[in-house]
Amino acid sequence: MPQPALTTASSVSGAGASVKVEIPRRGLMLVLSSPSGAGKSTISRALLADEDRLDMSVSVTTRPPRPGEKDGVHYHFISVEEYKALADNDGLLEHARVFDNFYGTPRDPVETALRSGRDILFDIDWQGTQQVAEKAQNDLVSIFILPPNVGELERRLKARAQDSDEVVAKRMAKALDEISHYSEYDYIIVNDDLERSITEVKAILRAERLRRHRRIGLADFVNRMRHAEG
């Protein structure tokens, strides 16, 4: 069985010896949402590269794999029947239909990771975040990434040189709708400086890992101290 994660602190004991304190904790679900072009994907990659107990959530989908996509890495590719069975049995934390395909986050692997003390990073929109909050509010930490202004967001979208002006205009309209849901998130970061934004997200993650209700071994740790001289 996977062991819970260990939070580590140092203290001084005796003649300057360092004492390592290890307290098991429950993992958390870290949601990053933003309009396209605000920098969410870049921030996510930086987090995954630097945080060794953070994993990316892998969604299920009923669409066929695209060239280069690997099952279990980019998505879990399943049949419509398998998807409906998961949805009907409350096996999805969030789900949505996009055109003719279904997408969703399977509950079991996320719950297994949280019990073992690993954190899961989600790349979902405000609607998916609402669904997750309804089912697992205590495990959820949600962050919305804002661009510094509308002009800069449009500039970033055009700088990709991947979309026509018409597509950029549609993305901008969608972005403004998404931004209107900022107040539904725990934290807001204005990404006017990428390195600072990454540092701020890391600070949120580290602080949330220290929340009392997540440090499931804290009561035992305190009780051992209280009765050490007994």
Task: Check residues 180 and 164 and name the one with the higher pLDDT.
Answer: 180
79 class by beta-carbon count within 10 Å (0-12 exposed, 13-18 middle, 19+ buried): exposed
Average pLDDT over residues 83-94: 97
Average pLDDT over residues 209-215: 97
Q: What does the block give as tokens for 182?
A: 């900022």
Q: Does residue 164 surpass a pLDDT of 60? A: yes
Q: What does the block give as tokens for 36?
A: 């396209």
pLDDT digit string, tens, across residues 20-76: 898 999 999 999 999 988 999 999 999 999 999 999 999 999 999 999 999 999 999
How far, in Å, CA of 175 to CA of 179, rounded?
Answer: 6
Task: Check residues 116 and 230 and name the one with the higher pLDDT.
Answer: 116
Structural contact between residues 33 and 126, judged by C-beta atoms closer than 8 angstroms: yes
How far, in Å, CA of 165 to CA of 213, rounded?
Answer: 48
Residue 75 per-residue DSSP state: B
Q: Does residue 2 surpass a pLDDT of 50? A: no
30 class by beta-carbon count within 10 Å (0-12 exposed, 13-18 middle, 19+ buried): buried
Q: Does residue 12 surpass a pLDDT of 60? A: no
pTM for this predicted structure:
0.86
How far, in Å, CA of 208 to CA of 173, rounded?
Answer: 33
Position 157 confidence tier, pLDDT thresholds 50, 70, 90: confident
Average pLDDT over residues 203-228: 95
Neighbouring CB atoms inside 10 A of 226's CB total: 9
Neighbouring CB atoms inside 10 A of 215's CB total: 18
List of E strands, 99-170: 101-106, 119-123, 140-146
pLDDT digit string, tens, across residues 124-151: 999 999 999 999 999 999 999 999 999 8
CB-side exposure of 211: number of CA atoms within 13 Å? 14
Q: Does residue 193 surpass a pLDDT of 90? A: yes
- Give the domains, in start order, of the chain with CATH numbers: 1-26+215-230 (no CATH), 27-214 (3.40.50.300)
How far, in Å, CA of 1 to CA of 199, rounded?
Answer: 33
Q: Does residue 13 surpass a pLDDT of 90? A: no
